Amino acid sequence: MNFSTTQSESFFFGNKLTFRQKITRYGKRFALAGAVMLLAVFMGLFRGNLHSAFSTEVPVKQTKQSGVPVNVIELQPVDSFSRKRSYTGKVTAARTSELAFERSGKLMEIVVDEGEPVQAGMVLARLDTRHLQVIRLKLQAERDAAQAKLDELEAGPRPQTVAVAEAEVRQLNARLKNLQADHARNQQLLKRNAISSSDYEASQYEVEQQQAQLDAARSRLSELEEGTRKEQITAQEAVVANLDASLEDNQVDLDDTVLKAPYGGRVSKRYADEGTVIFPNAPLFRLVEDQQLEAHIGVPVEMAVHLKHGSQQEVGLNGKLYQSTLKAILPELDPVTRTQEVVLSLNKLAAKQLVPGQVIRIEISEPVEMQGFWLPLSSLARGERGLWSAYAVIEGTEPGEKVLEKRQLEVLHTEDNRVLVRGTLKTGDLIVVDGIHKLAGNQRVVIKDRR
């Protein structure tokens, strides 16, 4: 009933509302719109405060007359620069030797131990020498006998010996005359057939035999009177010289029983103890010349050509730099690294602080042909598409006005705290060197300092 009445009323009046109903209905709509507007204003304010609270940019106060003070650098072009390259090597001793005896023998004494310093010529160890001493005594006795005979030959025969030889000649001569007289008588008797032919021949044989003995005695006398022959003296001198050489060889063997340091250094290793039978050339000590160190560093062939023999070079280890002198550039490439090895002689300070085997580095300057401009790292900001940007100070629209203009750059080379760049730059441009995170394009600035 009620439902049909309401529908009939609504249809009859054509859905017309009274003034009070209109106020009520539209008032609600205006209230809702006002609430939405207030909410939007509130959200805008909230976002503004939130942005202000978390923003890293510090508002820069500037006036129309002054602008932000900046430090700038005036660009100067370069056509080339020196690029430093670092190469690694190791510290080595100038000399390292495996010391050994040149002969065999029992090790009797060791004077030094591992880690001890030694001086050049210092005795390190000794071998047993008893057998060599006996051989030397025998050789010395033979040499003394040979020398005595040589002295006798050089002095010649004594007068008594010559007198004996002269007496022998006279005796033989007298006997020869007697035999010749008997032989002459036998010849007369043979003609008268008083003796036989055999008796005559026997007397003749005795004469000839006596004549031979006389000739031999006369030769001996002549030799004694002339003195010793030169050939005999020379032959005996050779005998003495041969024995002298044997004694020298024995002395060399004795010297080889004492092992001495060929140069100053430090004993790195000892391989045997007392009582050990040492074989020839078996290492006994490893000696390292730690007072003179070298650096062996492999560098590319194209870098080695820039180094000169005798030039001073700086090498580094653990942040410390040491002076060195280029000693040699080896003529062959390393088959593994394909680099050319350079040898650097380190100074005395390095020899006191470094140890063979440590890793050491060298920086070599390489000339590079490249055009661009040097800028400090603090003047760059990251740009788009892998490029960088910097702010250039240019003339503004008003007289005396200076404003910023962003320039796109390409970094060519980085070195310490500066970079070589190219891009929308030209000679004489003024580039802001620091504080670029506070700046923006077309911002008014004042040049504070120019480099």
E strand or H helix that includes residue 81? strand 77-93
Residue 373: pLDDT band (50, 70, 90) is: very high
- pLDDT tens profile 210-229: 899 988 988 887 877 766 67
Amino acid of residue 190? L
Q: How far apart are CA 327 and CA 343, in angstroms?
A: 5
Q: At 189, which helix (H) or strand (E)?
A: helix 159-191
The model's pLDDT over 336-345, given as tens digits with 9 standing for 90+, comes to: 888 999 999 9
Q: In this predicted structure, what is the pLDDT of residue 33? A: 53
More confident residue, 388 or 83: 388
CATH topology of domain 68-81+369-450: 2.40.420
Candidates 1.10.10.920, 3.40.50.2300, 3.60.20.10, 2.40.30.170; CATH matching 87-94+289-368: 2.40.30.170
Segment 81-140, tens digit of pLDDT: 887 888 999 999 989 999 999 999 999 999 999 999 999 999 999 999 999 999 999 999
> How is domain 96-128+257-288 classified at the CATH fold level?
OB fold (Dihydrolipoamide Acetyltransferase, E2P) (2.40.50)
The 3-state DSSP class for residue 69 equals: strand
Residue 309 to residue 363: CA distance in whole angstroms = 16
The DSSP code for 195 is: S
Task: Give the C-alpha separation, 442 to 77, whole Å.
Answer: 26
Q: What residue spans define the domains of the chain?
A: 17-55, 68-81+369-450, 87-94+289-368, 96-128+257-288, 134-252
**Which runs of consecutive H residues, i.e. helices, occur in 113-158?**
130-155
Predicted pLDDT at 43: 59
Check residue 290 and give left, alpha or beta (phi > 0: left; psi -120 to 50: alpha). alpha
Q: Mind listing the pLDDT tens digit for each residue in 39-71? A: 654 555 444 444 444 444 444 444 445 788 999
Q: What is the pLDDT of residue 14?
A: 40
| DSSP-derived pairing of the beta strands 445-450 and 68-74 | parallel
Reported in sequence order, the residue ranges of 187-292 that DSSP labels E, i.e. its strands, are 258-260, 265-270, 277-278, 283-288
Query: What pLDDT sits at residue 442?
Result: 87
Of 380, 391, 387, residue with least CA distance to 443: 391
- pLDDT at residue 2 greater than cutoff 70: no
Q: Is 243:139 a contact under the CB 8 Å cutoff?
A: yes
234 with 178: CB under 8 angstroms? no
Q: What is the pLDDT of residues 30-39, one digit of tens each?
A: 455 555 566 6
Helix/strand/coil (H/E/C) assignment for every residue in 320-356: EEEEEEEEEEEEEECCCCCCEEEEEEECHHHHHHCCC
Query: Is pTM beyond 0.95 here?
Result: no
Residues linked to residue 258 through DSSP beta bridges, in sequence order: 126
Does position 19 have pLDDT exceeding 50, yes or no? no
